[in-house]
Structures are given as C-alpha cells and as structure tokens.
Structure 1
C-alpha cells in the first residue's frame, strides 16, 4: 500500500500513480491510501485502483482501526510512505501489526537533522529509506537516525514512451507558433512549477544577457507551468516574474504557457530545455527532457550533475546569469551539437531512468524485506 496524505500536486504526489501500473505489470497487487477528494486520490483511481481514503491527515490516526482491518483483509505486507508526516501513521501501523514492512522515499531531500525522540521512534520502524539521488543520500545519512545499510539510493524512473517524438514537421511548427516562437528562432524552454527556488529569475537575467552576447541569434523563451495556486504555482511569484520580464524588456521574447497537459509534445517544440533549479533532490524535468531527446542545460547543483553527463548536456552555475547566457548561446548557435547532446541524453535516459528498471529495483527491495 502506497500512503500519500497530501492535498498538493507535484512530483511527490504524482509518484504513486506513475509507478502503480508498472508494479501491477510486474506482478504486485497495489493499493493506495490518500486524502478524500485529493488529486492524489483522483490520480490513483485513474491509474486503475480505488484508493482507501481518510478525510484529513489529522483524522487519519483516528482511522487506524479501519486501516488495519483493510490491510488484514487484503493481505497487505508492505507500506510505502512518501511524505515525512505520513510516517506517523505508517510507523503506528507497523507497531500495531508486527510483520508489516515500512518503506519511505525522501522525495524532498531532507535539509535538517531528524534525530529527536519522535524521529527515532518513527524512522526506527522504517525497513528501508529510499534516497532519490546520491546528493540526497548524503543528506539522509547525516540527518536520519538510520544506519547506512537501511538507506538506499534509488533513482526515480519515468515511462519513456510518451516522450518519443510523435509530431510531423507541420504539426511541430504549428505548435511552435502557438507558443509564440517565430519561424526560424531557437526555442529555449523552462518547464516546471513557477515557485521560488526553481531559478526562473536567473534564467530571465540570462536571456537578457543572451540578447547582448549573441545579438545575431534569433531565439524565444518559453516558460511552461501553471500560473495559479490551483495549478501548483505561487501566484505572487508569477506576478514577480511577469514584472521582471517587463523590466528586462523581454515581453516580445518570452511566452508564459500556463499549465499544459501535453508536456511531451511541448518538448518536441523546443530546441533547448533549461532547468536552473538551485537544489533539486532529483531533477525529474531533466530526465523528461532527456527522454524527449532534447539538449539540456541544468544547474550545477543538487542532484542534476548526477543526471547530465558531459556528452548529454551542459551545466551552468545556478546563481550566474552570465553562465546561463553562455550555455544558451553555445547550444543556440549549433544545431548539430544540440542533436548530438539530445541523442546521447535519450540513450542515457533509456539506460538509467526508465520506470521498468526503477520498479524492478523497488520490487526487489520489497521482496528482500
């Protein structure tokens, strides 16, 4: 049973529904526990399982009896939590029903020690903690009251198939025009939630300097992500970005797309994908862009350098607009280089970051327990 009692919507919340179909293909009977009416619950239903639901995180602890009954009725032996706050319930269930194995994935990358009495009790019941990168595993080893043998690095995986090119050239050009990209321009995109910490402002400064550094280069910036709180973004931050675009004189050269359901197709419309996040615990957007065969520029921080090798992308300092401008100029001017990097990135994604391999490793950990 995957437990995700979150009313938000991001990579963490999307994870259970993303992997459950593959778990089922590999022979596991999968269940879910979510907040009633949450997008997590809806996503689980869409993935083919009707989740058990509770009305709120606080009341979940009061529902421990019915949850235990559900676990017994379905013969569930493994619990997998995805938010640290959900460990209260997971650890309680494991305490009340000896034999349950409790797993936890640290999707966020812990930033402060968790070694108080409560944490020693809760994490002490965790059979295996999954770190989603080597960068986060190093933090996990320092922060959690667990021995190294119970903290395993397990890269996330995605379904690669949707990212394979599907558009013919006419459809691709039509989509580029819809995004405001002039004919003959290099489309430079930044996908992801519009929230602080994702590097949008440094990227915009980089575009402004690109205009001066490569005055001969025709380009257009595309900001992909929801514009409202309901779409997962910070509205005050979006307003600040719009103001910055105006201040930098980029109104005619940057498009805000809003939330889109067709991200794999948007990748087809882009020539360069930028991910300037300052401290990514993994970098799912990087992997998605790699799977799409795109030339990627990522921030030289957090876990992103683990994902991008020299022959499959470029790195730029997360706080240096000049570095971003230089990287965008290099890739913008060289279509053959973009193609080589994109092909290498796709191959690396196939080798390292497919959901089939990820779930196989996950299932092996479940089985060993």
Structure 2
C-alpha cells in the first residue's frame, strides 16, 4: 500500500509533529507532499527515510498547485492520499480526485468554534471546507470534540471516524542529562523552577494568560521562576511586548520552533496549557510522558479519558493559574512516572486504526469496480 500524506507546511506544530511521529511506525510505503515551506519537521522526516516533495505553493489562491499536486499523485501511483490541515485538505482532496486516487482521507486537527488553525472562521472558509470534504471518502477527527464540531458544520457523522492522536511515550521520557544540557543551552539556572508552554504562538493558545500568571506567581525579578515558551507564531512580538509591559521580560524565554521536545520537556518543571479551546492537546500528553504535572484550561485528550488515567493533570481556571504555579514552585514535586494516559495514546494504536481505515476504503473502492 502506497500512501501520500499531504500537509500545508512542516513547521513544528501539533499536526506536523504528529505526522512525523506516525511515519516510522506505518507499514504502508509513505511519502509526504508539503504545499508551502519545509520547516524543521521536514528534515526530521527525511532523516527517517521518508521522501518529502515540496509544491512551492504561493498563497491560498495559487491554484496551479492543484495541477502540480495531481501530477505528483499520478506519477507516484499512490493508492491513498491522506491530507492534514485546512489548505492541504482543500487542495489535496481536489488533486486526489483529479488524479483518480482510490482512497482519499483527511484528518481534521485544528477546528475550533471560532477559529481554524489560528484563523477566524468566515462563511467562505466554511463553505470551501464543506465543498472539499465531499471530494474525500472519510474525515478523521482527532477527538470527540472535533467530531462534534464537524457535525455542527453539517458533515454527516457517517463520514467521520474518530482516531485519537498518539505519541511514542519513550521519545519524551525524562532524561536528567538532557535537562542539564538544555538548561545550560538556554541560560537557565539549574535551581530555577521552569514553567513550560508549548505550541503555536497564536490566539487560541492563550499564552498571554500564562505570561500574566507569571507576575502573580512570584517576584517579577526572581530568576528562580522562569517561563519557557516553545513555539513560533504571529503573536510573538505582542507577547514579548506584554512581558515587558508587566515587568516579567527577564523571566520569559521564547525559544522559537524546536525539534528537540524531549530536551525542552526535560528542562521544565510543569507544563501549563491555558487554552480555552483545544482539538486534542498533544503537548499535554507529551508532558505526561515526560513525568511533568500539567495545568490546563481545556484538553480533550485528558477529558476523554477515565479520571485515574492522568493523575498528574489538573484543570484550572484563568484566575487560579498563578496560584497553582506558585504552589508547585513551593512544593517542587518529584518527577512522576508516566501515567496510563501515555499507554492509552500509544502511537501504535493510531497507526493500526489508520491502516485499517485505508484497507477498508480500498476494499470498498475495489468492490465498486
């Protein structure tokens, strides 16, 4: 079975990280087509031996990319096209239809109530998505929350399959040597209490709340409590300005994108995810695998599990965030053993479900012929 994964870009976001993690475990012969920039994930994917094709798409209206993508699909004779992220779903499904690909799948990673991949949802965005969805065979939702949002948009539940994201827990396991090395590289004191935030620097992640919480969590000049924000995005300058405005700029470190999440998580003492809206919450599960306590605003990955599967994770309100961080900094809890959630979200489960879906769709196509 030959599969082409089509994705909008390969920066270090959740969907991109998820694709990189999936590929080594898939039995199918996989290749990747990226519509726009390569980003840090492209190098990691290529190092794993997976070909990456760049389409050089210039903006949302570069419809010539559809032709280039369709030609790639015909030449590669792919049996399955699997698209990820909004633009890749729209263009990838259309190109796959033009190329007569037998099975067309799209995973919805980032749909919210008001935003999709950080962009405000307009009527045009919604209509284009719905029209392109009809060109595929199945849409994969990464959580029940995503499935419900797709149904609310008007997609029949019969066309949706829920397959949760997965992680390789061992790839995020705590390493004290990595902790020391990463802290040294970032200029972090070994005795500092490090609060981590991981994700795109966009509105939905609400890292502004985390920066504000740092002021209420301790002395603005105290270097022993530091916020480490791992990710890139359009709000970086605004967040930097906020840190300066409230006097905590010396205690907030922006790392930009990083392919070394194990090192970053090893350097942290708690992960805080104050998002008001999430589709899954992959960073929270990775943090649990690293033995970190997790403070979160909303996280379907945790909320969908039995209560005892993630004892180190706790939902907190915006008003509680500073006090919760201050309490953890005072207690300095020991590193936790990875909880049951990590096993339940083992990436091998996700791979098995995806490849079973591919086989079912190919079988259905063969029966029609």
Q: TM-score, normalised by structure 1?
A: 0.79
Deviation at 1:221, TM superposition (A): 1.8
Equivalent position of 2:80 in the other structure: 78
8 Å contact kept, 2:173–2:290: yes
Q: Separation in 1 of the partners of 2:354 and 2:260?
A: 28
* Partner in structure 2 of residue 312 of structure 1: 312
Matched, 1:255 2:253: yes
Give the structure 2 partner of residue 69 of structure 1.
74
- Residue 161 of structure 1 pairs with residue 170 of structure 2: yes
Which of 20, 24, 47 does residue 21 from structure 1 map onto? 24
Higher deviation after alignment, 34-43 or 82-91: 34-43
Q: In structure 2, how many angstroms separate the alpha carbons of the residues matched to 1:219 and 1:98? A: 59
TM-score by length of 2: 0.79
Return the offset for 1:98. Answer: 5.6
User: What RMSD over aligned residues (CA atoms) do the two structures have, in Å?
Assistant: 3.3
Q: Is 1:225 aligned to residue 235 of structure 2?
A: no
* Partner residue, 1:348: 340
Cα distance in 1 for partners of 2:45, 2:84 equals: 14
CA contact (8 A) 1:5 1:83 kept: yes
| 2: CA distance, partners of 1:308 / 1:209 | 32
Query: 8 Å contact 2:197–2:229 — kept in the other structure?
Result: yes
Which whole-Å CA distance do the structure 2 matches of 1:203 and 1:21 have between them? 34
Task: Tell me whether 1:101 sits opposite 2:98 in the alignment.
Answer: no
Q: Secondary structure at the match of 1:30?
A: strand
Going from structure 1 to structure 2, the CA distance change for 1:333 and 1:13 (only over 3 Å counts) comes to same
Q: Which runs of 5+ in 2 are unaligned?
A: 114-120, 362-369
Specify the alignment match of 1:229 in structure 2.
Answer: none
In the alignment, is the contact (CA less than 8 A) between 2:66 and 2:92 conserved in 1? no
Query: 205, 209, 215: which is aligned to 1:208?
Result: 215
Per-residue displacement from partner, 1:72-96 (whole Å, max 9, x unpaired)? 3xxx321111133334444445545
Structure 1 range deviating more: 353-362 or 35-44: 35-44
How many residue pairs match? The answer is: 342
Answer yes or no: is the 8 Å Cα contact 1:287–1:307 preserved in 2.
no
- Partners of 2:54 and 2:185 lie apart in 1 by 40
Measured after TM superposition, the shift of residue 348 of structure 1 is 2.6
Question: Separation in 2 of the partners of 1:184 and 1:55?
Answer: 46
CA distance in structure 1 between the aligned counterparts of 2:238 and 2:168, rounded to whole angstroms: 34
Choose the corresponding residue for 1:139, options 149, 157, 162.
149
Which residues of structure 1 form unaligned runs of 5+?
A: 227-231
SS of the equivalent of 1:314 reads strand
Q: Distance in 1 between matches of 2:254 and 2:129?
A: 42
> Which of structure 1's runs of 4+ aligned residues deviate more than 6 A?
113-117
Does the CA-based 8 Å contact 1:132-1:281 persist in structure 2? yes
The verdict on how the C-alpha distance between 1:288 and 1:308 changes in structure 2, with shifts beyond 3 A counting, is: farther
Q: How many Å separate the matches in 2 of 1:280 and 1:254?
A: 24
Report the CA distance shift for 1:65/1:127 in structure 2 as closer, same or farther (over 3 A). Answer: closer
Deviation string, structure 1 residues 254-294 (Cα, Å, up to 9, x no partner): 33344444321222222111111222211121121111111
- Picking from 258, 274, 277, the partner of 1:276 is 274
